[in-house]
């Protein structure tokens, strides 16, 4: 018992887990759309929990957008709003579930952020995620790259 308390404190101290937030998400008994940011990419996972053990159903990173026509010379922008939206669209097309809740982890909730660009993309793909429309970024900001529509049309061909 003492060891597990120390572990919780260590993971919180290392900014890896917010246990209050995780408990609320687990109590919902819904699949979660997990959004994580790295220095280069956005990582998306759809996971279900059974007895607090996560089972990842599908994983998508923005690096996969290179397969759909994202220019190789624009690799540095794979964590942009456009890339986030397209990754959300991609995971929404790949996953078989119809409803999920957002798990942004320790990423702060900011209106118009990459997290909400992901949610907008997933919702446009048919995944039902409860969220206010007011927090989504503007469409002009998402579609600022000239190759955006080409990549989007390639992703929409997925069944």
**pLDDT tens digits along 112-150:** 999 999 999 999 999 999 999 999 999 999 998 889 999
Domain with residue 104: its CATH number is 3.30.420.100
Residue 41 lies in a domain: yes
Q: Determine which helix (DSSP H) or strand (DSSP E) holds 13, and give its type and residue range.
A: helix 2-13
How many Cα atoms within 13 Å fall on the side-chain side of residue 127? 28
pLDDT digits (tens, 9 = 90+) for 61-116: 999 999 999 999 988 889 999 999 999 999 999 999 999 999 998 888 899 999 99
Place 4 in a pLDDT band, splitting at 50, 70 and 90.
low
Q: Residue 75 has which token pair?
A: 């690799």
Q: Residue 101 has which token pair?
A: 């809740």
Identify the CA nearest to 43 among candidates 23, 63, 27.
63
pLDDT digits (tens, 9 = 90+) for 50-73: 887 889 999 999 999 999 999 999
Residue 10 lies in a domain: no
Residue 114 lies in a domain: yes
Residue 107 pLDDT: 86
Residue 110 lies in a domain: yes
Q: Residue 87 in contact with residue 121, Cβ under 8 Å? A: yes
Question: How far is the CA of 86 from the CAs of 22, 100, 142, 154, in angstroms?
Answer: 26, 18, 9, 10
User: What pTM value is reported for the model?
Assistant: 0.87
Residue whose tokens read 């942009």: 80
Greatest Cα pair distance in the chain: 56
Whole domain around residue 91: which residue ranges? 29-156
Residue 15 lies in a domain: no
For the chain, the domain total comes to 1
Residue 15 has pLDDT above 80, yes or no: no
Residue 24 lies in a domain: no
Please give the Cα distance from 57 to 54 (Å, whole number). Answer: 9
Residues 6+ apart with CB under 8 A from 94: 58, 60, 158
Residue 104 lies in a domain: yes
Residue whose tokens read 């990173």: 61
Residue 83 lies in a domain: yes
Please give the Cα distance from 17 to 10 (Å, whole number). Answer: 9
């Amino acid at each position: 018992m003492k060891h597990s308390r120390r572990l919780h404190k260590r993971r919180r101290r290392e900014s890896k887990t917010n246990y209050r937030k995780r408990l609320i998400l687990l109590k919902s008994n819904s699949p979660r759309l997990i959004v994580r940011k790295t220095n280069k990419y956005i990582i998306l996972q759809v996971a279900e929990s059974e007895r607090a053990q996560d089972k990842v159903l599908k994983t998508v990173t923005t690096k996969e957008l290179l397969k759909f026509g994202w220019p190789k010379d624009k690799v540095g922008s794979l964590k942009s709003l456009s890339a986030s939206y397209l990754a959300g669209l991609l995971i929404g097309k790949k996953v078989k579930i119809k409803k999920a809740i957002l798990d942004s982890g320790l990423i702060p909730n900011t209106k118009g952020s990459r997290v909400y660009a992901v949610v907008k993309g997933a919702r446009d793909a048919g995944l039902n995620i409860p969220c206010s429309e007011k927090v989504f970024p503007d469409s002009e900001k998402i579609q600022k790259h000239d190759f955006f529509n080409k990549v989007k049309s390639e992703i929409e061909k997925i069944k």
